[in-house]
Structure 1
Amino acid sequence: MGELIGMGLYTPAEAGRLLRVPSSKIGRWLRGHAVKGKFYPPLWVPEVDLGEDRLFLGFRDLMEVRVVDAFIRAGVPAIRVRSAIEIARGVIERDHPLSTDQFRTDGREIFLRIVDTDEHGEERERLLNLFRRQYEFKGIIDPILKTVDFADNGDPLKWWPAGRRANVVVDPTRSFGQPIDADSSVPTTVLAAAAEQEGIAGAALAFDVTESSIRRAVEFEKSFAQRMAA
């Protein structure tokens, strides 16, 4: 399991719970599927391969699925998302291009953010329409980027699934990418279960965390349980 350190590890069911995306849909996207006799290959190759006939996702896969789902929810046809991945993979030379911080959508088209330097040495940011292959003026902001920390090269590092104020983070370098209390690194599932058994104060004492951390973990787990039941 040493090769998985820093990558995160999720089953389709675990990924679906975090992302609110049906695990069956995640399976179709990453295994490929047939429609009316035509086979559509996987959107990309998952970064986790345990040598079994089981599907696992890494953190980059999790972030890629999140963006694919956001695009489709915004009204972008699935076939266009597939094309965007293929085009972007060639443009920025990344296996998981959609999970970088370079993408935007207005619900119809998908744009790739390009930063270049003009003849005066000044940087300019433009949006390349991946289908018309022409530059658009900047003005499309994808809100899902606000909850992700990115590296200087644009790769995703951490995800704050309930927003930064909740202080719950998904970090592939800690607890195999499970949601954790950002201050203590204890999984939210563990803190919430302890609160149910020992109460807020007892759980805080047992894990040497603040009562606020326990409350946030309980709220986080409760919100996901409610979403899954909806």
Structure 2
Amino acid sequence: MGDAAERKGVQVPLRTRPLNIGIYEVPEAARLAGLKPAQLRRWLGGGEAPPLWRSELPVVEERIGLGFHDLVQARILGELVRQGLHPRLLRRLVAEARDMLRTEHPLAHARFRTDGKRLYLELLEEERRIYDLDRRQYGFHRVIEPSLKSLEYHGEMASRWWPLGRNTLVVLDPERAFGKPVASESGVPTATLFEQYVVHGSYRRVARIFDVREREVRDAVRFEKTLADRGSRTLRAA
């Protein structure tokens, strides 16, 4: 595990290396969450403001790493940012949900679907009075719930993320490939399948090369194209 983590660029001492929580560098996590790396780094304490939450991974040599629950939380907050909600609301949401659910990653907690919904609507109502927000535009079912539907839970916390939906074959699972996006049946990284598709231009040929179903290749390519498109929009908005 250590060698693979080091190849990915996150240096974690042997005695503190986590098991099965995923390992992501800030640029990679930002790409998956649809955020600017600088923004995600600030949220985790890489700026003057206090961090929104503490990462699951230790900071080593001033480098911030993220675990799977960090990624889930960043993704949901990223959706709120894209909807234009004020940073103050984000901080209050994380802080008050953390106190309520007693976890550093409340947005990845199963009860955030219910208790978190009530909290979000209460905070939104306060913001609406100040900024005259359209509550329908920022409603929980419109802004947050779609992100939660793609999560799978084990016990109280999110355990898998199906970024294209749970009826597709792309998954992020912290117990597989350090949480990197993989084809759910074969475990082949989506980036690898996409790279080979670019080379060969054929779903069928790539499926034969890796001995996987053609549908896995199609879903992997669609996922990687979605990431690339979202990344270009993020850069244009920078």
Report the TM-score when normalising by structure 1.
Answer: 0.77
Q: Which residue of 1 aligns with 2:154?
A: 151
Instruction: Note if 1:15 corresponds to 2:29.
Output: yes
After TM superposition, give the deviation of residue 221 of structure 1 in Å. 1.3
Give the counterpart of 2:78 among 66, 69, 78: 69
Once residues 187 and 222 of structure 1 are traced to their aligned partners in structure 2, the CA distance between those partners, rounded to angstroms, is 14
| RMSD (Å), alpha carbons | 2.5
Once residues 78 and 41 of structure 1 are traced to their aligned partners in structure 2, the CA distance between those partners, rounded to angstroms, is 13
After TM superposition, give the deviation of residue 4 of structure 1 in Å. 3.2
Instruction: Note if 1:187 corresponds to 2:196.
Output: no
| TM-aligned CA distance change 1:4 to 1:88, over 3 Å | same
Give the counterpart of 2:112 among 69, 90, 103: 103
Instruction: Note if 1:28 corresponds to 2:37.
Output: no
After TM superposition, give the deviation of residue 28 of structure 1 in Å. 0.7
After TM superposition, give the deviation of residue 84 of structure 1 in Å. 2.5
Instruction: Note if 1:213 corresponds to 2:216.
Output: yes
Q: Which has the higher strand share?
A: 1
Once residues 162 and 20 of structure 1 are traced to their aligned partners in structure 2, the CA distance between those partners, rounded to angstroms, is 14
Instruction: Note if 1:163 corresponds to 2:148.
Output: no
CA contact (8 A) 1:104 1:140 kept: no
Once residues 217 and 93 of structure 1 are traced to their aligned partners in structure 2, the CA distance between those partners, rounded to angstroms, is 36
Once residues 64 and 116 of structure 2 are traced to their aligned partners in structure 1, the CA distance between those partners, rounded to angstroms, is 29
What percentage of residue pairs aligned between the two structures are identical? 35
Tell me whether 81-90 or 164-173 shows the greater mean CA deviation.
Answer: 81-90
After TM superposition, give the deviation of residue 104 of structure 1 in Å. 5.8
Q: Which amino acid in structure 2 is aligned with residue 43 of structure 1?
A: L
CA contact (8 A) 1:84 1:130 kept: no
Number of positions where the alignment pairs a residue of Structure 1 with one of Structure 2: 201
Once residues 76 and 232 of structure 2 are traced to their aligned partners in structure 1, the CA distance between those partners, rounded to angstroms, is 23
After TM superposition, give the deviation of residue 102 of structure 1 in Å. 2.8
Once residues 32 and 214 of structure 1 are traced to their aligned partners in structure 2, the CA distance between those partners, rounded to angstroms, is 37
Q: Which amino acid in structure 1 is aligned with residue 163 of structure 2?
A: P
Q: Which residue of 2 aligns with 1:119?
A: none
Q: What is the DSSP-based 3-state SS (H/G/I as helix, E as strand, rest coil) of the residue aligned with 1:185? A: coil
Q: Which amino acid in structure 1 is aligned with residue 108 of structure 2?
A: S
Q: Which has the higher helix share?
A: 2
Tell me whether 40-49 or 201-210 shows the greater mean CA deviation.
Answer: 201-210
Q: Which amino acid in structure 2 is aligned with residue 46 of structure 1?
A: S
CA contact (8 A) 2:182 2:190 kept: yes
After TM superposition, give the deviation of residue 200 of structure 1 in Å. 2.6
After TM superposition, give the deviation of residue 175 of structure 1 in Å. 0.7
Q: What is the DSSP-based 3-state SS (H/G/I as helix, E as strand, rest coil) of the residue aligned with 2:27? A: helix
Deviations 1:177-223 (A, max 9, x none): 11110111110011111223344333212211011211221222122
After TM superposition, give the deviation of residue 130 of structure 1 in Å. 5.8
| TM-aligned CA distance change 1:74 to 1:201, over 3 Å | closer
After TM superposition, give the deviation of residue 75 of structure 1 in Å. 4.5
Gapped regions of structure 2 (runs ≥ 5): 3-13, 126-138, 234-238
Gapped regions of structure 1 (runs ≥ 5): 35-39, 106-110, 114-126, 133-138
| TM-aligned CA distance change 1:77 to 1:102, over 3 Å | farther
Report the TM-score when normalising by structure 2.
Answer: 0.75
Once residues 225 and 72 of structure 1 are traced to their aligned partners in structure 2, the CA distance between those partners, rounded to angstroms, is 19
